């Protein structure tokens, strides 16, 4: 049986080499995930290092997950934090950064700039959200090409106010999204019209647009509703006289009611949804969707 010191050194070496089996066995046998020592084969051989630091420097994602699960602590010291984030960026691995952020590493503007430069949208969005900044990453031309906005523009000439479809194209995504929802509120058409006419393929694409812009767990409701569409084969109707809702079972309605309670029926609703326009739109849209389904729900 290896000694404590041997286990610690084995864990340190495994973090460098990426030997998942040795790392797992060492932790099982009592290796300290917060051990600090010297690994003469490592990049940091001139100074004491830890398994956590080596796992990040050598991009050993699986071992990093094991270390964090075993109780490895992300250091509080600012200089040590900088070394960790710098090492993760140098390794070019966004997964490393996200793991560290979720376990105590404080994100910085430098992390956001790196993520933007290298196209790591998830990291950029997470960092800017933690820094309290607003991020829009969806291309406006691509967004406006989605069916949901084409549908909107078909009716847009009836929208009261100064914004025409051409005006909307001059604004960023946030303006377009807000206009779509204002249009819905003013005219009673738009999204609810799509739902009432059972244009489910268009509805699914609108979910995609919202999720691409929001990139937040707060939009999970729309994702679950979309999954419900797919699971039960709910699609755009072919026959204009076809009534898709008549085929929905009590079990499906229970799922819909469950989503309603999960996201909109609890006392912490205002804590779940942020005040940003795109998230408010997502919440209102999902509520509207549930409202339409309930209106169509068969009685008896």
pLDDT tens digits for range 40-81: 554 444 467 889 999 999 999 899 989 998 999 998 776 777
| Residue labelled with tokens 């700039």 | 113
Q: Note whether 126 and 145 are same-domain residues.
A: no
Question: CA angle at residue 145 from 259 to 122, to 5 degrees?
Answer: 55
Q: Determine the average pLDDT of the residues in 203-224.
A: 49
Token pair for 236: 């755009």
**28 and 46 both lie in a single domain:** yes
- Residue 240 φ/ψ, nearest 5 degrees: -60, -20
CA 283 to chain centre: 15
Q: What is the pLDDT of residue 11?
A: 93
Q: Are residues 58 and 98 in the same domain?
A: no
DSSP string, 5-49: HHHHHHHHHHHHHT-HHHHHHHHHTT--TT--B--TTSTTTTS-B
Q: How far apart are CA 300 and CA 280, in angstroms?
A: 34
103 and 10, same structural domain?
Answer: no
Q: Phi-psi bin for 109: left (phi > 0), alpha (psi -120 to 50), beta?
A: alpha
With the C-alpha atoms ordered 48, 50, 54, 56, is the resulting torsion angle positive or negative? negative
**Looking at residue 14, which CATH number applies to its domain?**
1.25.40.20
pLDDT of 186 above 60? no
Question: For residue 20, what pLDDT is reported?
Answer: 92
Residue 125 sits in the same domain as residue 155: no
Interval 90-117 mean pLDDT: 86
Give the residues across from 49 on adjacent strands: 37
Considering the domain architecture, whether residues 180 and 39 belong to the same structural domain is answered as no
At residue 200, the pLDDT reads 52
Same domain as 290, residue 155: yes
The reply to whether 58 and 165 lie within a common domain is no
Tell me which residue of 56, 32, 70 sits closest to 105, measured CA to CA.
56
Answer yes or no: do 99 and 54 share one domain: no
User: Among the three residues 117, 134, 151, which one is the final residue of a domain in this structure?
Assistant: 134
How far apart, in Å, are the Cα atoms of 180 and each of 159, 176, 273, 275?
10, 6, 19, 17
Are 248 and 284 contained in the same domain? yes
Q: 188 or 179: which carries more pLDDT confidence? A: 179
Higher per-residue pLDDT: 206 or 67 = 67
Q: 179 or 268: whose pLDDT is higher?
A: 179
Q: How confident is the model at residue 104, as a pLDDT? A: 87
Find the domain containing 213 and state its range.
Answer: 140-296
Torsional class of 281: left (φ above 0), alpha (ψ -120 to 50), beta (otherwise): alpha
Same domain, 103 and 206: no
Query: What's residue 19's pLDDT?
Result: 93
Of 94, 111, 134, the one marking the end of a domain is 134
128-163 per-position pLDDT tens digit: 777 755 443 334 444 444 444 444 444 444 444 444
Q: Exposed, middle or buried: residue 49 (CB in 10 Å: 0-12, 13-18, 19+)?
A: buried
Residues in contact with 285: Cβ distance below 8 Å, sequence separation at least 6, in sequence order: 181, 191, 206, 210, 222
Residue 177 reports pLDDT greater than 50: no
Identify the residue with better confidence: 271 or 237: 237
- Same domain for 190 and 281, yes or no, is yes
Rounded to 5 degrees, φ, ψ at 29 are: -85, 10
Q: Tell me, what's the pLDDT at 247?
A: 57
Structure tokens at 263: 């996201």
Mean pLDDT of all residues in the chain?
A: 64
Domain count of the fold of the chain:
3
Q: What is the mean pLDDT of residues 72-99?
A: 84
The strand ranges marked E within the chain are none
Domain boundary among 27, 47, 73: 73
**All residues at 6 or more sequence positions from 290 whose CB lies less than 8 Å from its CB, including other chains:** 256, 259, 260, 264
């Amino acid at each position: 049986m290896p000694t404590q010191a041997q286990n610690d050194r084995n864990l340190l070496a495994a973090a460098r080499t990426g030997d998942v089996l040795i790392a797992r066995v060492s932790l099982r046998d009592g290796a300290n995930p917060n051990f600090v020592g010297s690994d003469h084969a490592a990049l940091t051989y001139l100074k004491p290092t830890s398994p956590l630091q080596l796992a990040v420097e050598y991009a050993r994602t699986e071992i990093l997950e094991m270390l964090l699960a075993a109780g490895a602590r992300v250091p509080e010291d600012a200089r040590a934090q900088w070394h960790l984030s710098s090492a993760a960026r140098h390794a070019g691995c966004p997964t490393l950064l996200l793991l560290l952020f979720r376990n105590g590493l404080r994100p910085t503007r430098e992390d956001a700039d790196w993520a933007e430069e290298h196209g790591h949208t998830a990291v950029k969005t997470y960092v800017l959200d933690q820094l309290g900044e607003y991020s829009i990453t969806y291309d406006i031309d691509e967004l406006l090409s989605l069916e949901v906005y084409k549908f909107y523009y078909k009716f847009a000439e009836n929208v009261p106010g100064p914004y025409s479809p051409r005006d909307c194209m001059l604004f960023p995504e946030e303006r377009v999204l807000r206009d779509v929802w204002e249009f819905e509120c003013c005219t009673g058409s738009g999204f609810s019209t799509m739902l009432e006419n059972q244009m489910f393929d268009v509805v699914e694409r609108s979910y995609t647009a919202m999720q691409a812009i929001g990139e937040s767990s707060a939009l999970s409701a729309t994702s679950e509703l979309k999954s419900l569409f797919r699971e039960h084969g709910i699609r755009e109707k072919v026959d204009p006289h076809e009534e898709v809702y008549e085929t929905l079972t009590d079990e499906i309605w229970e799922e819909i009611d469950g989503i309603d309670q999960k996201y909109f029926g609890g006392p912490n609703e205002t804590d779940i949804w942020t005040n940003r326009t795109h998230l408010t739109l997502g919440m209102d849209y999902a509520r509207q969707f549930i409202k339409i389904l309930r209106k169509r729900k068969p009685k008896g």
